[in-house]
Structures are given as C-alpha cells and as structure tokens.
C-alpha cells in the first residue's frame, strides 16, 4: 500500500506520478541490494509511486556492473509480488561504454531499431516486467550541447541515427504495449522540437517527458526549453535538484563526508562542485537556515514547484537522506524564501551550468 503524496499526470497520458521520483543510479555502486530494497520500501510507504532507472546504471559507469541497478529493482519487485501500482521508467543509451547488449567492436550502441529493441528487452528481463510505463532516450546520439558541454558550432560529418528512425522504433514499442509512454533526456530545444514535429507530421508516438538537469545552480532549462515544455505539454523530470548533493551544504569549506559521491569519485566534480559554485552554495544554504528549512528540502521543493515540472528525481545513499528528499514533495516554500532565492539567482545565475 502506497502512502500519500501529491501526484501529477504525465502530459498527454493517463499516467499519474508522484511529484517525487525515486532515482536509482547509486544502486550497485554506492548502495548494496539490501540498501536499494530499503530505499524502495521507504519511498513507496511514503507515497512515491515513480521509480526511474537506466540500462547503464549504476553511475559512475562500470562495464562489469551495468544492469545491476535494474536487477536490484527486479529482485525487490519479485519479493514484493506486485508491480501495477508503480510507474517504472528506464532509458536506452548510445555509448561505447554499453555492455548490456552487443555493439560493433570498438564502436558504440546507437538509436536504431535493432539497438532500441535489444535495449528494452534487456531492461524488461532485468526488471522482471513485461512493460515499462515510460521509456526514455538517455541523451542525444548526435553531437550537441549536453552534460555541460558548450561551444557546439558545427554539424560536419554528422553520422547519427536520424531522429525519425529512433522515434519510429519507439512508436513500435508503444503499439506493442511494451512501453506506455516515451520521453527524452539531456535533450536540447531543437531536439525536443524535432521529436514533436516528426510525431505530428509522420503520425508517430509523441514524447511526453524530458528528463534534464534542473537545480538552483543550473536553471538553463528556462532558456528555450521551459517555453516548449509549457506550450507543447512536455513535462520536465528534473534530475540533480541538489546538484549531485552539493546544495545540501555537505561539501562546504572543503568538507569530504565519508561515503559521499565527491569524496569517492572525481567524476563530474568540475560540473557540479567546482570552486566557483562554493560561495553560491553558501548563499542558498544560508537562505534555508534563515527560514529554518533543511537546505536539501528547500532545493528540491523549489524544483518541484516550477510550472513546467512533472516530477523531481531524488537519489540518496542512506534512508535518512531519502526521508528529507521525499518530504520536499509535500512542502511549499514560503513567499519570503522564494524572494530571497530570486534575488540570489539574479546575482549568481547558473554557476553550475
């Protein structure tokens, strides 16, 4: 029995999801199978019905561990004995790092029909279900701006799979009932527009969601993509609302908490936890403290309140962290808090973009 939490409907579907979504990318890397099951038990007992995973997880990517996260979810579902009251999402990736399915020697997996079908069948088998509620393209196959990359100025020698081919393959999955809805992730304004155009002109399945980074330290989604999300009804699934945990304040003043992501790994430190962002993090933490709010709760609640947000993905390495993150789903920021956030953002826009 799921607890209570506000829910929103994924645009253009009848799929109702909790405003907080349980992210899973630490399972199999920082978290054991028992940890994963404990998180699932806590989340679902507190109203979370939406769980997001990916064939590539856990992160950081490890060829020997890929697919472990989905298997942990599957073993919990088997033990639980039911699945239909949950909304399960996964993703297909184009990468030379993928080892959950075959790819050319020295090459990379792509978003053609064969790869997408192989990827979804692998995810279904590992999770132990015959359908996914949401299936997402993890990032663009083409060269463009995502994961913090800038200076995109050329499409010379573009060899990526055409989006029409990708969308046609996803449409087949919807028609066959293997997938209820589709979405994109780490996508650009042009990419979202192209998926929508092709759906309209070729009578293909329409994307319903976009899973992109969004936090107090990176609100670049508001430049172009928020307009598309609102006008075209494509719901944001906001990931890294704590900017990989830094908005909790736990890394301030050079702190390296035991077991924390940036204590264990250098990966993405420059993107999320560089020296430039430290004074801005301190400002946001001070705002939270001023109003007696946990900094993590404030940051997640901010992302959840945005008009283009359908759900916010939260991850944790402990149930205690998860409890604070999930509490944000039913918390409304005081007006004065929003005003202080707006003032800080005006002075320090997007330092982690």
Q: Which amino acids are annotated catalytic?
A: 57
Comparing C-alpha atoms, which of 1, 2, 5 is closest to residue 325? 5
Q: Assess contact for 68 and 27: CB atoms under 8 A.
A: yes
Give the C-alpha separation, 48 to 127, whole Å: 18
Which residue in the block uniquely carries the two structure tokens 């994963």? 36
Give the C-alpha separation, 119 to 113, whole Å: 10
Give the C-alpha separation, 322 to 336, whole Å: 26
Distances (CA, A) of 68 to 27, 39, 199, 297: 7, 16, 33, 29
Which residue in the block uniquely carries the two structure tokens 């719901």? 235
Q: Residue 155 class from Cβ within 10 Å (0-12 exposed, 13-18 middle, 19+ buried)?
A: exposed
Comparing C-alpha atoms, which of 226, 267, 221 is closest to residue 241? 221
């Amino acid at each position: 029995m799921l607890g209570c939490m506000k829910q929103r409907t994924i645009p253009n579907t009848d799929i109702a999801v909790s405003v907080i979504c349980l992210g899973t990318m630490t399972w199999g890397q920082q978290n054991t199978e028992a940890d994963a099951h404990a998180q699932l038990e806590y989340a679902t007992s507190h109203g979370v019905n939406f769980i997001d995973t990916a064939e590539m997880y856990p992160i950081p990517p490890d060829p020997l561990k890929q697919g472990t996260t989905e298997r942990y979810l599957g073993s919990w579902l088997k033990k639980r004995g039911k699945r239909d009251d949950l909304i399960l999402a996964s993703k297909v990736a184009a990468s030379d790092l993928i080892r959950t399915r075959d790819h050319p020697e020295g090459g990379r997996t792509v978003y053609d029909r064969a790869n997408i079908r192989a990827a979804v069948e692998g995810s279904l088998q590992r999770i132990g279900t015959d359908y996914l509620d949401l299936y997402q393209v993890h990032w663009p196959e083409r060269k463009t701006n995502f994961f913090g990359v800038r200076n995109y100025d050329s499409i010379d020698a573009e060899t990526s799979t055409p989006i029409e081919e990708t969308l046609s393959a996803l449409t087949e999955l919807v028609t066959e009932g293997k997938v209820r809805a589709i979405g994109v992730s780490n996508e650009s304004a042009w990419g979202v527009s192209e998926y929508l155009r092709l759906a309209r002109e070729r009578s293909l399945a329409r994307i319903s969601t976009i899973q992109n980074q969004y936090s107090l330290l990176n609100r670049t989604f508001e430049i172009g993509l928020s307009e598309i999300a609102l006008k075209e009804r494509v719901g944001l699934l906001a990931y890294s609302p704590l900017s990989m945990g830094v908005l909790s304040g736990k890394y301030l003043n050079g702190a390296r908490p035991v077991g924390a992501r940036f204590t264990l790994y250098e990966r993405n430190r420059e993107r999320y936890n560089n020296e430039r962002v430290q004074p801005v993090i301190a400002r946001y933490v001070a705002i939270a403290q001023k109003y007696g709010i946990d900094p993590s709760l404030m940051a997640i609640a901010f992302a959840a309140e945005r008009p283009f947000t359908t759900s916010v993905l939260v991850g944790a390495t402990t149930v205690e962290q998860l409890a604070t993150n999930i509490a944000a789903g039913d918390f409304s920021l005081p007006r004065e808090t929003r005003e202080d956030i707006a003032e800080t953002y005006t002075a320090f826009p997007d330092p982690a973009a």
